[in-house]
Structure 1
Amino acid sequence: MEGWKGDFVVLGIETSCDDTAAAVVESSGRILGESKRTQDQIHAAWGGVVPGLARDAHASAIEEVVKEALEKANVTEDQLDAVAVTMGPGLEICLRVGFHQARDIALNFSKTFVSIHHLEAHVLMVRQADQNVKFPFLVLLVSGGHCQILVARGVGDYLMLGGTLDDSLGEAYDKSARMLGLDVGGGGGAALEALAEKGNPKAIKFGVPMAKRKDCHFSFAGLKTAVRLAIQNAGGDLTNPLNDAQAAADIAASFQHVAIRHLEDRIERAMKLCKEEMGMSDLKHLVVCGGVAANKLRVTTSLQCSPQLGSAQACRFHEWLVPLNPSTDNGVMVAWAAVERLRLGVCEDPTELEVKHVVLSCAHVDVHHRLGPVGL
């Protein structure tokens, strides 16, 4: 299929986890309308996302969310040029809800259908906000289930330099927040961040994970264990949270400080690898994105990494950060990823997609793993 040119309008639908979202976006990047329902309060009492409850909430909200997005955009289904939906990775039973909604619209109104990889949608959002960001660029993607450093070489073409060996940063944030007895109804990351602002980040000497490893991988399981031990040493446990508010704040601040140090270290290694071993001197941007990138971690990392890493490298990276709100799951990123794909002529026939495929990696997205020692 020949790549699309000119102006066109896309509806994007997102139901990969616990956010039901839809948005209508022009190919220029202009957001015509969007709507979203979150499920934080539904899952708060369970200490994590319950797939069955999430699916039911998606099913109850999806039609209204799509209707609201279209109404805000002042666009009807007939006026759409394409419909896009997140097809994975994510919770299968949740992905099915969005897939069925998008498929029905595409078939009933004879619209082009585009399947979207959830993580690629996060990465490409930077180009919706600033289309001057050109490939290739370096990506730090931190979400609830993933922590990766990649080189984005083009739409659907990524080179992974490193990933998490155990827990993701989002998991470490959420688990630490719960161990500290925080209200995670608005998200564990946000709760821990708020508490950390009241603490001393150097009060507890947590070790920086994998400090001697010469690669670009991450590990947060040990840091999570260190938080549990610190809570026990301060007189708390999993059933009886700390009564000492300052001790809890110090633990939160120390955790966040070391987590950021770990990210800094891996970003620096990735920059050096790209420059010195891979000859990628044309990299100009470091993009920090993903759900976890929505909290203060995103901003703090930028402030600490930019001057330090820029002066340490032969090539200076201009740090471009995705705006705060679009860092979380949303329909805009799905619609925009479809714009990028349609410009390359990439789309699918929804009647040829089996529902079981929604949990697999989407077609036309290639993530290549760099093999061999990093050697930094």
Structure 2
Amino acid sequence: MLVLGIESSCDETGVAIYDTERGLIGNQLHTQIAMHAQYGGVVPELASRDHIHRLVPLTRACLDEAHVDLQDLDAIAYTQGPGLGGALLTGTSFANALAFANDKPVIPVHHLEGHLLSPMLAEDKPEFPFVALLVSGGHTQIMAVTGVGKYELLGESIDDAAGEAFDKTGKLLGLPYPGGAKLSQLAKLGVAGRFEFPRPMLHSHDLNMSFSGLKTAVLTAVNKVKEAHGTVDEQTRNDICLGFQDAVVDVLSRKVQDALKQTGFNSLVVAGGVGANWKLRERLNQLKVRVFFPPLSLCTDNGAMIAFAGAMHLQDARAVGAFDVKPRWPLIATR
């Protein structure tokens, strides 16, 4: 079966084709980072307009890459939510129109489910059951996964997502957008132990997390440095980056260990943009369980994960008339 997947929830336009026999045979992605960088963050209206411009040429390129025609497809999957309302609407409209014009079923996909299942696109695939750490710019959740569509929320961030905290802290330090990725790079140049930031909720006796206070801690440290020296030099900035990253990774790794102990599962899946963080990968790979990551190219938003999730739910495909977007949509309520 061939499924076309369309992703347009935020600032990446992704189109991919997944073949249940051959795997991923087409994958096209356009990122809007350069466009939003001048504003220091995503501008929803600009994101929506750019998706409109990109969807048709990316779809054509994907079909050419896969050497298939629209009529060869068995279904069209799209991100229904969560995400930016206008951005979701562009992909939803395009997918439903394409499906209607070619008499194909459409499959609405939950964005987080796409991320959660994305490690199955790697050569080394996880098997059920497993603990999943969904860690991105918009969500940080720990789940027990026993099958496709069978998810139990074990814990989550009660405020900022880890990726959001990375980006906001990077912006606070004057790093170019997206600040989180640059912060991670500079952390490699930092001196360990110079800045020790709090580990919020590390001993909360549950699997919930909190990252908003870390930004305040960094701001306090930056202000103290400026008061003493007038400015923050490069090495001090790098040291702060390392201290912040270590705090986030310590919390995530501890909560994951507790989740593995609580469930008794011996496999861990890590998905979402922060799953590409070098320090997090290094720490989690030290656990005495099997750890699975999606390919680095599929850590951020992409159409491949939507096509794959759509293929897994092909028998549940909704009618073309079920047109809807869900900017706020908890994963646990999807099935």
The TM-score with structure 2 as length reference comes to 0.94
Q: Percent identity?
A: 37
Q: Distance in 1 between matches of 2:22 and 2:224?
A: 52
Q: Deviations over 1:194-235 (max 9, x none)?
A: 111111131111121113210001100111111111111111
Q: Which residue of the partner structure matches residue 347 of structure 1?
A: 317
| Secondary structure of residue in 1 paired with 2:313 | helix
Residue 332, structure 1, aligned to residue 304, structure 2: yes
* Residue of structure 2 equivalent to 1:111: 104
Q: Summarize deviations over 1:249-281 as a string: whole Å, max 9, x none.
A: 000011001111111111121122113xxxxxx
Letter in 1 for 2:206: D
- The residue aligned with 1:151 is 144
Mapped contact 1:87–1:99 kept (Cα < 8 A): yes
Q: CA deviation at 1:131?
A: 7.7
* Residue 198 of structure 1 pairs with residue 189 of structure 2: yes
Q: Is the 8 A contact 2:194 2:243 kept in 1?
A: yes
Whether the 8 Å CA contact 2:285–2:291 is kept in 1: the answer is: no
Cα distance change on mapping 1:17 and 1:294 into 2, 3 Å: same
User: Does residue 134 in structure 1 map to residue 127 in structure 2?
Assistant: yes
Match of 1:252 in 2: 241
Contact 1:189 / 1:295 at 8 angstroms: preserved in 2? no
Q: Given residue 307 of structure 2, which amino acid in structure 1 is its aligned partner?
A: A
Q: Secondary structure at the match of 1:300?
A: helix
- Choose from 277, 291, 298 the match for 1:319: 291
CA deviation after TM superposition for structure 1 residue 352, in Å: 2.9
1:160–1:367 contact (8 Å) kept in structure 2: no
Q: Distance in 1 between matches of 2:79 and 2:54?
A: 16
| Structure 1 residue 300: Cα displacement | 2.4
Identify the residue that residue 120 of structure 1 maps to in structure 2.
Answer: 113
Does the CA contact (< 8 Å) of 1:288 and 1:298 recur in 2? Answer: no
C-alpha RMSD of the superposition: 1.9
Q: Report the CA distance between 1:130 and its aligned residue.
A: 4.8
The unaligned stretches of length 5 or more in structure 2 are none
Letter of the 1:302 counterpart:
L
**Residues 290, 327 of structure 1: 8 Å contact kept:** yes
CA distance in 2, matches of 1:203, 1:296: 20
- Other-structure match for 1:288: 270
How far apart are the structure 2 equivalents of 1:29 and 1:168? 35
Distance between the aligned counterparts of 2:111 and 2:232, measured in 1? 40
Which residue of structure 2 aligns with residue 265 of structure 1? 254
Residue 215 of structure 1 corresponds to 206
Q: 1:118 to 1:74 in 2, by over 3 A?
A: same
Q: Secondary structure of the equivalent of 2:79?
A: strand
TM-score, normalised relative to structure 1: 0.84
Verify the 8 A CA contact 1:294 1:325 in the aligned structure 2.
no
Q: Are the equivalent residues in 1 in contact too, given 2:249–2:280 (CA < 8 A)?
A: no
Q: Distance in 2 between matches of 1:29 and 1:262?
A: 39
Q: 1:361 Cα deviation (Å)?
A: 3.3
Match of 2:30 in 1: 37
Identify unmatched segments of 5+ residues in structure 1: 1-7, 276-282, 311-316, 369-376
Q: Counterparts of 1:11 and 1:115 in 2: how far apart (Å)?
A: 12
Structure 1 residue 133: Cα displacement: 2.5
1:359 partnered with 2:327: yes
**What is the CA deviation profile of residues 80-107 of structure 1, one whole-angstrom value per residue up to 9, with x for unaligned ones?**
1111000001111000000111111111
Which contiguous aligned blocks of 4+ residues in structure 1 show a shift greater than 3 angstroms?
A: 365-368
SS in 2 for 1:322: coil
**1:102 counterpart SS class:** helix
Tell me which amino acid in the other structure corresponds to 2:275: A
- For 1:296, give the aligned amino acid: W
Matched residue, 1:278: none
In structure 2, relative to structure 1, the CA distance for the partners of 1:349 and 1:360 (3 Å cut) is: farther
- The answer for the alignment partner of 1:75 in structure 2 is 68
Secondary structure of 2:285's partner? Answer: helix
Aligned residue pair count: 333
Match of 1:60 in 2: 53
Give, in whole Å, the separation in 2 of the partners of 1:29 and 1:339: 12
**1:226 partnered with 2:217:** yes
Contact 1:9 1:24 in 2 (8 A): yes
SS at match of 1:46: coil
Contact kept in structure 1, 2:199 and 2:251, CA below 8 Å: yes
Cα distance in structure 1, aligned partners of 2:14 and 2:61: 10
Between the aligned partners of 1:98 and 1:298, the Cα distance in structure 2 is 32
Secondary structure of the residue aligned to 1:199 is coil
Question: Could you say if the C-alpha distance between residues 131 and 320 of structure 1 is closer, same or farther in structure 2, counting changes exceeding 3 Å?
Answer: closer
Supply the distance in 1 between the matched residues of 2:282 and 2:333 (Cα, whole angstroms).
28
Q: Which amino acid aligns with 1:337?
A: A
Counterpart secondary structure, 2:132: strand
- Over 3 Å counting, the alpha-carbon distance change for 1:352 and 1:367 in structure 2 is closer
For 1:80 and 1:195, locate their aligned partners in 2 and report how far apart those are by CA, in whole Å.
Answer: 44
